[in-house]
Amino acid sequence: MTDREDVRVGRLILVPALITLAVTLLRLAGELFGWSGALFSREPGGKAALVGIVWLIPVFGVYFGLRLARAGLRPPSTARALGFGALGFFLNAALGIAAFSMVRSPVAQLGIFAVTSWIGIAVARPGWPVLWRVLLAYGLAARLPVLAIMFLSIFGGWDTHYAKPRPDFPLMGPWGLFFWTAILPQLSIWILLTIAGGMVFAALALLVRRPPAPVAAAPRAGAA
């Protein structure tokens, strides 16, 4: 990727990254101050609380896709973008389920799921390479602040979902917990969801907003 493309990607993700950071900080504040559990759950995994950056994936997937399309950077085929995005997600899910059925350790399951997530990320790329790069950059911009908050939560003993592993997770020190429940999933599983989910929703947006068919030129007067 050239320097010029780097600048374009950085500018494109800047506002979405700032909005995502604001939602992350709002979520943290809601948990620390004990606001509504439905909005700011402190349970392990977050219990699909309504305030969370995962809900921004389809929003910014559509935003990035439409911006790129208007700039003339459409995918080779909208169906291809949709298919490869979905394939990356479902391949990861299939490999993860197969691994979970054979491996019982939650630590090993998480490690396998991280590896299959990066396989899914690689599989999704041919569907729309330029959007893939944008979503990868946005995913990292979204998840690095979460890593910082998880570090503070785990080492500071904060009562937030950021510091709580799944109930069957083995006891371990803060560094082990930070690696297995923060670094590994944030830089693999959540990146996959950002890329695959963003690509699917971007492709669906293009299908809905098909460009109008060109109007045939009227025949000139007197033409045979």
pTM for the full predicted model: 0.87
Quick one: pLDDT at residue 166? 85
Distances (CA, A) of 156 to 149, 200, 210: 10, 38, 51
Instruction: Please tell me which residue, 209 or 18, carries the higher pLDDT value.
Output: 18
What's the CA gap between 98 and 140, in Å, rounded? 28
Say which residues have a Cβ less than 8 Å from residue 193's Cβ, sequence separation at least 6. Answer: 54, 57, 89
* Residue 120 CB contacts under 8 Å (≥ 6 apart), including other chains: 88, 89, 91, 92, 192, 196
Give the count of beta carbons closer than 10 Å to the beta carbon of residue 165. 20
DSSP conformation class of 217: P
How do residues 173-192 score in pLDDT, each as one tens digit?
Answer: 999 999 999 999 999 999 99
- Dump pLDDT digits (tens) for 45-104: 888 889 999 999 999 999 999 999 998 899 989 999 999 999 999 998 898 888 878 888
Tell me the C-alpha distance between 131 and 205, whole Å. Answer: 13
- Cα–Cα distance between 194 and 223 in angstroms, integer? 56
Domain boundaries defined on the chain = 3-208
